Amino acid sequence: MLFSFGRKKVDLVAIALGNPGARYSTTRHNSGWILLDSAFPDMDWSNDKYLSSEIAIMNYGKHRILFVKPQTSMNLSGEIFKPLQKHYKFPPDGIVVAHDDIDLPLGKIKISHARGDAGHNGLRSIARHFGSEYTRVRIGISSDNGDGKVIKPAVLGKFTDSELEQLLAQRKIFAKIISTLATAGHAMTMNLFNSKYEKD
């Protein structure tokens, strides 16, 4: 059944954060968009003017995933949540947000649930409009100096070609994380995937 009380029913809403515009396409702040597009290259994207977003729907087995790329600026990402809740019906724990994380080194992905914004402007906007009860796929964008500490770059700086290659190498694990969130929920997904990486 696709409709419930006039709203489209989905099992998971996967939101990737980024800034629209060609000049931002390979910046570190857009790592969520970069990985999403690489992990799911055959998605049929359309513009949803009510969400101010590009959206696509994928059926994964019996599960329906709504992918969202807000076309607001990063700092206004939370503005999509009111129309999202109006037009779509999803489980209480059915929101996942993929975003760049300056506290993690490039090549590392961590999954968290119900955490603060850690100074991320997009997450701060989401907290204002929706709260913090959602799952985060945190994509590392910083350099690792070899002793466990990261060198934090400018989030609007562009990836070098070698850095972009290192980011894109995570596309398969990113796709598995999203599909597992849809089928097994955030607790199981965190147990399965966070153990693959060292603790942050």
Where in the sequence numbering do the catalytic residues fall?
29
The helix, strand and coil proportions of the chain, stated in percent and rounded to the nearest 5, come to: 35, 30, 35
- The rounded distance, in Å, linking the Cα atoms of 37 and 126 is 22
Alpha carbons 56 and 58: distance in angstroms, whole number: 7
As a whole number of angstroms, the distance between CA 123 and CA 130 comes to 10
Q: Is 9 helix (H, G, I), strand (E, B) or coil?
A: strand
Strands ordered across the beta sheet of 88-89? 3-4, 7-9, 88-89
What is the pairing mode between strands 12-16 and 95-105? parallel
> Is the separation of the CB atoms in 92 and 79 below 8 Å?
no
